Structure 1
């Protein structure tokens, strides 16, 4: 009886270590910024999201071969132009996979574009499973919405008003 109890106890302890050893510890977020990251822009300059805390931000995940992403560019350009002078809002594109520089040039993208790394770490961080994928971040660095579809200019403005 004692031997069986010992085996059950030992097995339970081993199972606990196995299970907790397989669950990754979530990264400690930067104070005030839910999902911080650093990526390079297309000219090789480093961009860290938390450096812009206090400013509402729209992140737009896209791929170069995505027709819906192409149709969203004029709306994002318009929103970017509207707020660029006041620096009241940042519009940031995050390109996934290859062909991003060509996409930016051919589509006339006017907002900042960053290139996700080869492992698509930032896309995974934001649970991007389809594109376009828009993330709205308020001044406190909190995500207010994530929309996994192409948005019209009025749709963008509606969600932007929530973070201004």
Structure 2
């Protein structure tokens, strides 16, 4: 076999090996994507730092010893429009009992968020996840999703998607994470 044919065979073999490795990785990644990095009850809640609409900084770890009702939402989300007034009604009462609401907004413009907050008269902190970093860290999809964080910083429960939460449901969730 000539030197040229040997080189060609070597290059083709290397290319084939790379393609097989890439295909294998793709199959593995797709087969395990539902379980990789999925936050679950009992896990430590990932710490984050976000700013609210006024530029005030909030760090999850600052709430150690308090329950945190962490709500991921969007202005276009119909269930969010129903839940937010209930959350707002319960906010002051549960804040005094050691439960904080942090509403993490994703996907919309600042203008739309401001309008939503004014329309519903929200008193609790509305944080802006501009780059989606916190949404990704918590593996949030779809909206709304609420993560109940116990005073020890561990996830107590995750409520995903359109659950049509009532005021009673939200009150029960807040009771679950009271110190």
Q: Assess if the C-alpha contact under 8 Å between 1:33 and 1:50 holds in 2.
A: no
Q: What is the RMSD of the two structures over their aligned residues, measured on CA atoms?
A: 2.2
Per the normalisation by structure 1, the TM-score is 0.75
Q: Residues 72-123 of structure 1: CA distance to partner in whole angstroms, max 9, x if unpaired? A: 1111012202223x251101111112222221111211111100122x1111
Structure 1 alignment gaps of length 5 or more: 1-10, 27-31
Which one has a bigger Cα radius of gyration?
Answer: 2
User: How far apart in 1 are the matches of 2:174 and 2:119?
Assistant: 26
Deviation at 1:34? 2.6
The whole-number CA distance in structure 1 between the counterparts of 2:119 and 2:142 is 22
Equivalent residue number for residue 4 of structure 1: none
SS in structure 1 at match of 2:65: coil
Please name the residue that 2:113 is paired with. 100
Structure 2: gaps (5+ residues): 1-16, 30-36, 38-42
For the pair 1:74 / 2:85, whether they are aligned, the reply is: yes
Report SS of the residue matched to 2:135: helix
The reply on whether 1:116 has 2:126 as its aligned counterpart is no
Q: Determine helix, strand or coil for the equivalent of 1:79.
A: helix
* Contact 2:45 2:149 (8 Å CA) reproduced: no
Quick check: 1:33–1:53 contact (8 Å CA) kept in 2?
no
- Deviation at 1:163? 1.4
